[in-house]
Amino acid sequence: MTTPIMELTGRVRALFTDLDGTLTSDGRVEAKTSALLEKLEAAGIPIVVVTGRPAGWGQAIATLVGAAAVVTENGGVTFIREGGRLEKLYGVPAATLPEWRRRMHASAVDATADVPGARLSSDSRYREVDLAIDWNEEADLTVEDAERVGSRLREAGFAAVRSSVHVNFGPPEFDKLSACKTVVRRAFGGDPADLSPYVFVGDALNDASMFEGFPRSVGVKNVARWWDDLAAKPKFLTTFEEGAGFREVAERALTLG
């Protein structure tokens, strides 16, 4: 049972948010959303962006959004702002990456061999830990085909999660939630076992670990599209979709202090 966002209570220590389909509206962050992000920062509510997008986007997002931390590659690579620089953390030991990469590229070929139109996402070349099969960005696969590719990658020993645009896959050693627990400890000096001071907002299947782990988790309205397939549901729901839904959460957080 979900609760309307207006019933969210308690101070928000930091706002964790997904990017695609949550901060973005029709594929871009609107000016009024950016303005609210600045307002949150000024009000002492840090932003953490938690995305399946590549590590190569991490520094750019930190610069553009002024985020305290950016989790990229669904937890594979995390950037934490420390003073004037960004500290970079990997979800797996860096020495194991070359072998993982070799296996992942081979498995991407196997998993998509008989799925017409399935291919690595164009942003895969900027990824350091995970890779992504494009199903709904430049490609136009059915949900069934995307799921078929995902389950083959899981059978090959990878973690694979579907976002609104990609099937991300990589070493089964991290997820968005595990990376965010590191952020809580390192960036906020918080207890990773208690995520109640924080709020997370997201929209898709690759947010399931976050919906489960954050007691105050929020789905923007478009999460309804994947509702039945979500292993864990958000506690709160917004009235509007995408960026407009995020703004409801941000406005609410500002009133709560």
Which residues bind to Mg ion, rule: CB under 5 A?
18, 20-21, 203-204
Spatial distance between the Cα atoms of 123 and 252, rounded to a whole number of angstroms:
34
Spatial distance between the Cα atoms of 257 and 255, rounded to a whole number of angstroms:
6
Give min distance, CB of 25 to Mg ion, in A: 12
Spatial distance between the Cα atoms of 230 and 140, rounded to a whole number of angstroms:
21
Pairing between strand 166-170 and 131-134? Answer: antiparallel
Which of 190/223 has CB closer to Mg ion?
223
CB-neighbour burial class of residue 81 (10 A; exposed 0-12, middle 13-18, buried 19+): middle
Which of 55/220 has CB closer to Mg ion?
220
Handedness of CA 150, 215, 42, 185 (dihedral sign): negative
Q: Are 176 and 140 in contact (CB under 8 A)?
A: no
Which of 21/190 has CB closer to Mg ion?
21
The per-residue DSSP string of 137-169 comes to SSS---HHHHHHHHHHHHHTT-EEEE-SSEEEE
Give min distance, CB of 163 to Mg ion, in A: 5
Give min distance, CB of 139 to Mg ion, in A: 17
Spatial distance between the Cα atoms of 5 and 230, rounded to a whole number of angstroms:
19
Give min distance, CB of 202 to Mg ion, in A: 6
Which of 29/97 has CB closer to Mg ion?
29
Spatial distance between the Cα atoms of 160 and 57, rounded to a whole number of angstroms:
20
Distance of CA 23 to the CA centre of its chain: 11
Give min distance, CB of 119 to Mg ion, in A: 20
Helix, coil or strand: residue 249: helix
Which of 107/165 has CB closer to Mg ion?
165
Give min distance, CB of 209 to Mg ion, in A: 13
Which of 51/124 has CB closer to Mg ion?
51
